[in-house]
Amino acid sequence: MASWSYSSMISFFIIMILPSFPSYCSRRFLDDNQPCPGHVDYSGSFPPSYFDTEDHHDRGDFENYLINPTARLLSFERRKLEQEDEGTAIVVLNVDDFGAKGNGKDDTEAFKNAWEKACSSKRTTVLVVPQKKYLVKPIKLEGPCKSNSLTIRIQGTIEASNKCSDYNEYGRHWLLFDSVQDLLIEGGGTLDGNGGVWWKRSCKIKKSHPCNNKAPTALTFYKCENLVVRDLKIQNAQQIQVSFQRCKKVGASSLTVTAPRHSPNTDGIHVTHTQDIQISNSVIGTGDDCISIVSGSQRVWITNITCGPGHGISIGSLGSRHSEAHVSDIIVDRVKFFETSNGVRIKTWQGGSGSAKNIEFLNIQMNNVHNPIIIDQNYGDQKNPCKEECSAVQVKDIFYENITGTSATKVAIKFNCSRRFKCEGVVLKDVDIRRHHEKNKAQALCENVKLTDIGFVAPLCPNAHKGRNNTRPSVQQPHHKKIRNPIN
């Protein structure tokens, strides 16, 4: 035994451990906020969650890859053994080897050089950011890269410059990944946006300031594909914390995303023009939406999220400035809201066009939440209500199931839909929301909505009709089976 090589020991470990893992086969799996202004039918079935391992044994490889660190390690070791057999080694790079000091001085150039080296490697490559604090100015990390398996392992802290003049080159971005494929970012480290200086400039903080504060997004992924971001802390962003723009096949999990309650426009995770994305196992508390999903986004799965403080989980806003917007096939499952200003929200502007459809909100717990369930087709950011327009974003096929808890507002369910384009196909099933610390019952306000109630529903909309258990939309699942593991 003493003569066994490292490769032999790892091979033995894999052979002994792999049979104990369950076999998985999945059934399920949205432009930046302004700083101020494959088909599956689930009819009659409860959407499975991969967190409920007792009842559902058929799960997707991608889901398992995201949530199972041991399988993730074995995947890496298998790749390592394969490369040893082929006589090729994994390339491990360290930003310190490129001149980074982690002593409070500018390390931007070292990070650029380290990225260029990693991106140009044809082998499986790991770029390590050690346990130090690195000051990095705005930086664009651009692909495509030559490696089909690139990992950035952030173990320390990357801190943003607090000088607004440093952001002139890349405008509204701090860390920007552009057109990178097969990328994994992990490591347990921290990205600190150092956003306090930007918050003070916002007209939402200082009313005398003009509303043209183009604060940057902390972490942006643009046109990236086969992307996994996990096990990181993102905090105190200048504006939006994490943004996925025009990406495909994305997994974001085990993230802690935080900013103070008063910080303006600090959305936790912002999704725009992105398809096939899963956001899971994360804790988000910010000064704006915990998660915002906007136009061009399809097949989005959000599961096992803790949200608060913040503005809840929002689909929209959609259709501003008479624009056309489309979002569809969205699942929000197993979310706990704590004292947020909204719970699950769909918001659209009058005068827009397009649709928000095939959306499910499942297994939601509200804890002293303002506006727990809300659809607002008359959304606006000004004090006076907007005038009625001749067009609107169509909201249809929206399903709410197993939503419970307490409301901080008298109105717990609010459907403020367009008179010209009513909300259609809205279903409430097993919903029980009560007033927080009050004996009075919560109320529902329901205007211009075609609504069906199933099971016990409180508060009730007076115009709802009772439906059958098989009344629900068909939501198309993300194409996650096509996602390649970055290092497998």
Q: Which residues have a catalytic role annotated? A: 311
> How far is CA 147 from each of CA 126, 220, 458, rounded to the nearest angstrom?
10, 21, 54
CB atoms near residue 103 (< 10 Å): 10
Is residue 283 helix, strand or coil?
A: strand
**Cα–Cα nearest to 290, from 350, 229, 338:** 338
Rounded Cα distance, 369 and 347, in Å? 17
Is residue 450 helix, strand or coil?
A: strand
DSSP H helices, 134-243, are 196-199
In single-letter form, the type of residue at position 256 comes to T
The enclosing H or E element of 303 equals strand 297-307
Are 296 and 273 in contact, with CB atoms under 8 Å apart?
Answer: yes
In single-letter form, the type of residue at position 113 comes to N
Residue 387 phi, psi dihedral angles, 5° rounding: -75, 155
> How far is CA 105 from each of CA 158, 161, 163, rounded to the nearest angstrom?
12, 10, 13
Is residue 370 helix, strand or coil?
A: coil
